[in-house]
Structure 1
Amino acid sequence: MPSALPDGEPVPSDGSLPAHALHGLGERPFGFYLHVPYCASRCGYCDFNTYTATELRSSGAVASQETYADNVIAEIRQARRVLGEVDLPVETVFLGGGTPTLLPARDLVRMLAALREEFGLAPGAEVTTEANPESVDPAYLAELREGGYNRISFGMQSARPHVLALLDRHHTPGRPEACVAEARAAGFAHVNLDLIYGTPGESDQDWQVSLDAAIGAGPDHVSAYSLIVEDGTRLAARVKRGELPMIDDDVHADRYLMAETALAAAGYHWYEVSNWATTPEGRCRHNELYWTGADWWGAGPGAHSHVGGVRWWNAKHPAAYAQALAEGRTPALGREVLADEDRRVERILLELRLAEGCPLDLLTAAGRAAAARALADGLLDPVPYAAGRAALTLRGRLLADGVVRDLVD
């Protein structure tokens, strides 16, 4: 959950939505994101809305981990009131952070139970939590599985000690792979490992070792993201001071190609630029909900929501978030109503990253001309193009940001 919040119009104190946003509610996929903002320590590259115990010490009990689940449950109940009585079973639930598994497993189970009570879960609902490898053990995983969680995502990042140290990750190499086995033993059907490439000091060999370790662990999903040096982070300060080199785009491209080669050879199929799964069932359905413009409610400090073309975001600080709920107010600080043109552009931005691509009829005349050029340049796949869709080739994935910019013109 990014730390910066956009500007926007005020939100009514009861959180009510415009009538047009509620039109068709229940006809579109609906999910819940629950943000848990606590971390044992702050990673130097991270700019998400997270807090360590030291950073929250002055906020007292109102922002404590001990009362956090109750606050999220209060927002879930508020969401039910705002969205009305329409039948709205939750198709996907995703707990992110932060480190959700810093909370007791019973708190994660209680939050899920509140969703089940207020909205119900759709048959076959996907229920995911993120976890750091050092924050779980077999008993914890078994309690989550018993409580209804069926997918888990571990932050592996790298298998090399010096890369983990630079990223301020504190688990030992080998622990994420052990977590995959423990999650399988607990009954989790779907397990993801997150990897990061392009860390200063990481070699091609280091990256290959990490890929081999992740694949060898046997998850059915792998995410691989290039390291982005975000302004305001410790990593950015070190790069600015010249302590660490900035990794150039060619290195990132080479590492991406290494990931595609290794993962494809092991039976993983890309379905979004940074995500691979062994089967269609292994895809992260919650993220697909974001990428296809469906409806979701984001609960927690700084969480973003989207329903029927209205996007809003909550107060960032856990104390301000908790105070609003204690007073019976929405924790939302601002919102924006997306115009049709905004929604068209967002569809192109997001859907083009998917293996299925985006419909060509979303493009303007200038965009269609740009798509024809991208096709000629080998950036778009001719087979889906002939069927009316712009879908990236492997080379196109390497240049995805530029292709998108051209197509939205």
Structure 2
Amino acid sequence: MAGALPDGEPVPQDGSLPDSATAHVGKDGFAVYVHVPFCASRCGYCDFNTYTASELGGGVSRETYAETVLQELELARRTIDPARVDTVFFGGGTPTLLDADDLGRILHGIDAAWGLAPGAEITTEANPESVDPDYLRRLRGHGFNRISLGMQSAAPGVLRILDRKHTAGRAPQAAIEAREAGFEHVNLDLIYGTPGESADDFAGSLGKVVEAGVDHVSAYALIVEDGTRMAARMRRGEIPYPSDDVAADRYLAAEQALSEAGFQWYEVSNWATSEEARCKHNLLYWTGADWWGLGPGAHSHVGGVRWWNVKHPAAYGKRLVEGLSPGHGRELLSDEDRHVEDVMLRVRLREGIALDRVDRVGAKQALADGLLDPSAYENGRLVLTLRGRLLADAVIRDVV
């Protein structure tokens, strides 16, 4: 399970926000995130705020979870009025462990509270083994139009190291089923650099992604978090630690295979077949929009105020039953805080960031090192080259 939340300053019991934060809520877009903290089993690398049945204890139920989230939504409705919701994203955990009608109830509640914008992007994450054609059709009937499937790999040995429960071919098949159910956009997630993964293993995974006909791919290097089962195995010497050099090779392989298949990168770890296929929800995060996070441990941001809910589902539900905000703590971001975060996120985007927003000395050095696109630089923008994408964290450090 995830580590402890930061304390921050106390959240008012009614969840109210400063007038300065709510005055222009949603002016740059508004998103809703719904956290579903349930998992059938825990993957060895996972440190998300999720719980298996044995970890939950009493007082928490998948069957009543939708009603609990709707109670927080009512508090949110009284707190802000964003005029419209541009995107909704159900994450976890495994949202599709809930009945499709329960996910639909929450989505319809969001629409009733604030109104979904015409053409709003509605996404749910799913483990491949947690959905079937009937479930997918029911989700589509409730208005979901995008699905993100946790594939991670098509190599059986890699899936075993990651403690994934689905078979090697299930994720691409689920992607095909989602298309057949009418989903407009389908994403497959990959993890690269897992101990024991060969270059051929990753090439095979990329090939299966392309064959599945999806329009979006996310690919991330394995990160080993303290407190996870995988970290413990590495400390005991059972499996080796990931290699940065291997991760770089895998990223280059992903860029080559995906670009040849008609994908284009739009964020360092994300590729899409068209501008329409880009994840609009994540783009709102990356470009400084407002969002409300529903659920235990969920984070929110409105007008420079960021807050986070209590972690455990039982504590979350108890707060709401008592008529209190489930917020654990919050922080008011300074102009400098917001600037630094804006630079950190926008540098990773294909469009980059205006040079007058960054440190020019650091930018000139990055240009000299071949990390920035010279033509974009001449036009007043900082845009990463392929080599710059491999060293994006270093570029960000130098230009903040």
Unaligned ranges ≥5, structure 1: none
Structure 1 position 23, deviation (Å): 1.7
Q: Tell me, yes or no, if structure 1 residue 398 matches structure 2 residue 390.
A: yes
What is the match of residue 15 of structure 1?
15
CA–CA distance in structure 2, aligned partners of residues 298 and 222 of structure 1: 24
The secondary structure found in structure 2 opposite 1:280 is coil
CA distance 1:344–1:170, change in 2 (3 Å)? same
1:154-201 Cα offsets, whole Å, 9 max, x none, are 000000101001101010111111111111111000000000000000
Counterpart among 26, 48, 67 of residue 70 in structure 1: 67
Partner residue in 2 for 1:6: 6
What TM-score, normalized by structure 1, do the two folds share?
0.96
Q: Residues 87 and 12 of structure 1: is their aligned pair in 2 closer, same or farther, counting only changes over 3 Å?
A: closer
The answer for the alignment partner of 2:246 in structure 1 is 251
Query: 1:4: Cα distance to partner?
Result: 3.9
The one-letter amino acid paired with 1:25 is: V
Q: CA deviation at 1:3?
A: 4.3
Look up the match of 2:292.
Answer: 297
Q: Distance in 2 between matches of 1:87 and 1:160?
A: 44
Q: Take 2:180 and 2:211, find their aligned partners in 1: how far apart are those partners? A: 16
Displacement of 1:260 after TM fit? 0.2
Q: What is the alpha-carbon distance in structure 2 between the residues aligned to residue 100 and residue 3 of structure 1? A: 21
1:323/1:377 CA distance change after superposition, 3 Å: same
Mind listing any 5+ residue stretches in structure 2 that lack a counterpart?
Answer: none
Whether the aligned pair in 1 keeps the contact of 2:30 and 2:82 (CA below 8 Å) is no
2:34 partner SS: strand
Checking the alignment, whether the CA contact within 8 Å between 2:373 and 2:385 is kept in structure 1 is yes
Q: Is the 8 A contact 2:26 2:290 kept in 1?
A: no
Q: Which moved more, 1:175-184 or 1:314-323?
A: 175-184
Alpha-carbon displacement from aligned partner over 1:21-48 (angstroms, at most 9, x marks no partner) = 0121232200100000000000000000
Whole-angstrom CA distance in 2 between matches of 1:328 and 1:51: 24
**Which of 109, 112, 129 does residue 134 from structure 1 map onto?**
129
Structure 1 residue corresponding to 2:268, chosen from 265, 270, 273: 273
Q: Residue type matched to 1:30 in 2?
A: F
Alignment map for 1:211-360 (pairs within 5 Å): 211-360=206-355
Distance 2:26 2:156 in 1: 47
Within 2, Cα distance between the matches of 1:249 and 1:281? 32
Give CA deviations for 1:131-172 in whole Å, capped at 9, x if unaligned: 000000111000000000000000000001010011010101
Runs of 4+ displaced beyond 2 Å: 1-4
Q: Deviations along 1:43-98, whole A, 9 cap, x unmatched?
A: 00000000000111x3x2x3211111111111111111011xx4521000000000
> How far does residue 358 in structure 1 lie from its aligned partner after superposition?
1.4
Q: Deviations over 1:97-148 (max 9, x none)?
A: 0000000000000000000111110011000000000000111000000000
Aligned residues: 400
Say if 2:7 and 2:328, in contact at 8 Å, map to a contact too.
no
SS in 2 for 1:384: helix
Instruction: Tell me the residue number matched to 2:362.
Output: 370
- Whole-angstrom distance in 2 between the partners of 1:193 and 1:289: 20
- Seq. identity, %: 66
TM-score for both structures, normalised by structure 2: 0.99
Contact 1:347 1:358 in 2 (8 A): no
